Structure 1
Amino acid sequence: MPNTPDRPRRVRVQRDGPLLVEGPVEVVGENGEVTVSTRFMVAVCTCRRSRIFPWCDTSHRRRGPRPGEGDAS
């Protein structure tokens, strides 16, 4: 379903996880490359560890935080 002023696109933010976006979506990368998904919901990688970036492949679950991330205790 396309987004409209009456039904805006929904984006779910998760701590330590991807952004969940109601699809279909187009993601424009830093280099201007456009990646398209027609799925009803997509997970957009925010940790940049995914092998299928910009889509999440759950790599954030398998690895600990990057140096400088997470709790300093």
Structure 2
Amino acid sequence: MPTAPEEHPPAEPCRVTLTGEGPLLLDGPVEVTLDDGTVARSDRFTVALCTCRRSRAYPWCDTSHRRRTKR
């Protein structure tokens, strides 16, 4: 007689927050597969992913998208 598949509690969905002109905010930890196949991982509780590709820490946002103004 076949056995019933193991029941697992439903997985929590990954929360992604869109920001106006900034990064994508994700609930961590996350793994990001880059164009070249390498995997970047962050164990932080909230992760900011760069969407403008100006970040020196790409794929993580370093706020390079902000306009710099002289004071």
What's the TM-score once normalised by structure 2's chain length? Answer: 0.78
Q: Equivalences for 1:29-68 in 2 at 5 Å?
A: 29-62=34-67
Rg larger in 1 or in 2?
2
Greater fraction of residues in helix: 1
Root-mean-square deviation over aligned CA pairs: 1.5
Q: 1:12 aligns with which of 9, 14, 17?
A: 17
| Residue correspondences, number | 60
Unpaired stretches in structure 2, ≥5 consecutive residues? 1-8
Identity of aligned residues (%): 62
Letter in 2 for 1:37: S
